[in-house]
Chain A
Amino acid sequence: MAEAVLEKVNDPFADNPLVVDMQSITKRFGTVEALRGVDFQVRKGEVRALMGDNGAGKSTLIKVLTGVHTPTTGQIVFDGENVQINSPADARALGIETCYQDLALIPLMSIWRNFFLGRELTTDIGPIKWLRRKEMAVQCRESLKDIGIHIRSAEEKVGKMSGGERQSIAIGRAIHFGAKLLILDEPTSALSVKETGKVLDYIRAARDRGLPVIFITHNVNHIYEVSDSYTIIRQGKSVGTYLKGELTQQDIADLITGAREK
C-alpha cells in the first residue's frame, strides 16, 4: 500500500517526528465521496508536494486539515496530539498556516496591515484596541528581510506588487507567525517563471528553518526543484507517497491521470 513505499527506501526524514498524521480520512458531501480513506503523513523538516488532477480530492484533504471541512470519519494527530480541527481558527491556533492561491492578501491595504491582519499588535484602552502602527511596520519589514524578502516600504499597498511579491509576503507572514506547518495552495500557478523561482526559494528558506511545508501543485517541474517527497491523490484515494528521484516525470504524470497503476 501507499505508506509501504516510503518505508522501504532510504528516507532522510524517516527519523524525524511526525508533524501531521491523518488517519483513514473520509469526507462525504451528500452522495459524493470526496475522500475515501486517505492516510497522509508529513515529518518535520520536509517539503511535501501534494499532487492530483482537478477533483481528485487534494484540496478537500487540505481543507480537512485547515478546518474548512470536518472529516466524515477518520482522525488527525498533529504534533503528537489527537486534535479536532473544526474551524480555520482552530488550525491557526495549532500553528497550521495556509497561503491560499487567491485568498491571501487584501490589495487595497498596505503590506504591514496585511501582514498583521487578525493578529494586530494593539494597546488596549478599555474596549478600544489601538494599533501600534510604527512597531508593526518595522517588525514587518525586518521579518521579511530575515527570510530574504526585501520591500521598499511596509506602507506600500499590496495591490501595486507583482504576483510573486504578494505570494512571498504571504509566505513570509506565515513563517513569521511561528507556523508549525506551512500549507501552500497552488502558490506558483499564476506566476511567471522568474517569480516562481523566487517563491521556490522562499519555500527552501522555510525548510531551512525546519518548517515542514505541504505544497499543492499541478506542476511536476516545481516538485522536482523543491520538494523532498510527493503524495499523489486520485479519485479520493492516496495512490502513494514517493521520494524525490524515485519516479520519472512521466511516471508521476501517469499516476496522476491513472494511465498506469503503480
Chain B
Amino acid sequence: MRYLPLTPEDRASMLATIGAKSAEDFYTDVPKSARLKAKIAGLPDHQGELAVERHMMKLAAKNRSASSGPFFVGAGAYKHHVPASVDMIIQRSEFLTTYTPYQPEIAQGTLQTLFEFQTQVSALTAMDVANASMYDGSTACAEAAVMAARVTKRRKVILSGGLHPHYAAATRLLCEAQGLTVMQLPVAIDGEGELGKSVDGETACVIGQSPNVFGTVTDLTSVAKSAHEKGALLVSVFTEAVSLGLVMPPGEMGADIAAGEGQSIGNGLNFGGPYVGLFACREKLVRQMPGRLCGETVDADGHRGFVLTLSTREQHIRRDKATSNICTNSGLCALAFTAHMTLLGGKGLKQLAELNHEAACELADTLGAMKGVEVLTPRFFNEFAIRTPVDAEAVLAMLDEAGVVGGVRASRLYPRDHLGDVILVAATECTTPDDIAAYAAALKEII
C-alpha cells in the first residue's frame, strides 16, 4: 500500500522492541464485543492510482462545469477567473501540508500571509481590524450576530429581507441555540434602507446585506445611524467580495461589524466549499471578536515577526467562556484570497469590479429589452433579479437544453414566498458578449 511505509519486517522488529505479540495487544482496552475480527464488510479493497482516478473521473464527467458554456449562476458564489499562479502558491507543500501556526519560529510563512490577509480584508471592507478568516460567509454572519449580542448585552437580532436565506438560516440557528430572539423581516428586493425602522432599545444588531441576495446595492449609512441612536450595532454583510472594489464598503457606511464571503477572490466554485469567511470590526470591539488573530511582534533578536495573539478569547484557553467554539479558520482559502488580491492590487481590483459591473449592465439591458421580461433590481453590481412570463423552473430547464445555465430560481431559496417567476442572474468578467447573446436567443425561444 503506497501510503504506508512500514514493511512486515519493520512491524515485527517494532513489536519486539515494544514487547507486544501483535497489534491486537494494543486493542485489549476495547470491549471484546466491539472488536472487529475482520476488515469491515461492504467496502472495496485498496486500489492503485489509475483505478481510483477512473472512478473519480467518471463521477466528475456527470457534472456540467461552469466554464463549459454560458453560465449565469450567482446568489452567494461566483464564477471568476483565478490566475494560474494562485493555485501554484497554495500547492506549495509548506503552505498546503502545515498546521495552524502555533509554533511561530517555524511558521512565519503562514503567519506573515495571515497578517497580509488581515490587512487586505480591513482595507477592502474599510474596517479597523479583520480576523484571520472564518469558515465561510454564512458562519461569519452568524458569529457576527452573537458577537453583537455579547457586545451590547442585548438579546434581539434583526435580519433584513434581502439577507441571503442560507445566511439567515445559519444565523437564526446559532442565535436561537444561545437563547437570542431573531426577527426576520419579510423578503424584499429593495428593503435594506428601511432596516433602521425596526430597531428598538432591545436590539443587539440589525443585519443588512449589500449587494443583497437580489443584487440590490444599498447605502446603509442611515441604518447605522438609527441603530447607533438606539445603542444597537450594524452588521453589514456581502457575498460578492469583488463588489467592494466599486460599491460602498461596510466601513464607509458606519458598520460596526462586516461579515462576508471571500470566495470570489482566489477561490473556485467547488460546489459550495471550501470558501473563506471575511470578518472585520471596529477597533474597540476586537476583544469580542471570534476566530484567530495574527499580530506583529519581535523575536529574541529584535527582528520583526508574527504570532497568533489575543488567543485568550479562544476555546482552547477559555473553554466554556470562549467567544466562539471555532478552532479552525480557512487558512489555505485565505492564502488563495491573499495571493489573488496581491496579483490584482488596488487598481486591478477596481478594474475587475468595473468589468463585472459592465457585464451585468449589458446583460440587464439585453434581457430587460425582451418582451415580458422585467429587471426587478433597481441598483446592482453584478447580479440582479428578473421576472419571466413563464414559470422560472421551466425557463431554466429549457435554457439548460439550449446549453445555457441561466441563473437560480428564487423559489429554490424562497419556496414559500410566491417567487415562482423570478430568476437571480449574475454576470462576471468571465461573461462574454457571445454568452449574453446566447442567453437572449435561448430565452426568446421560450417566452
Chain B associates with chain A: no
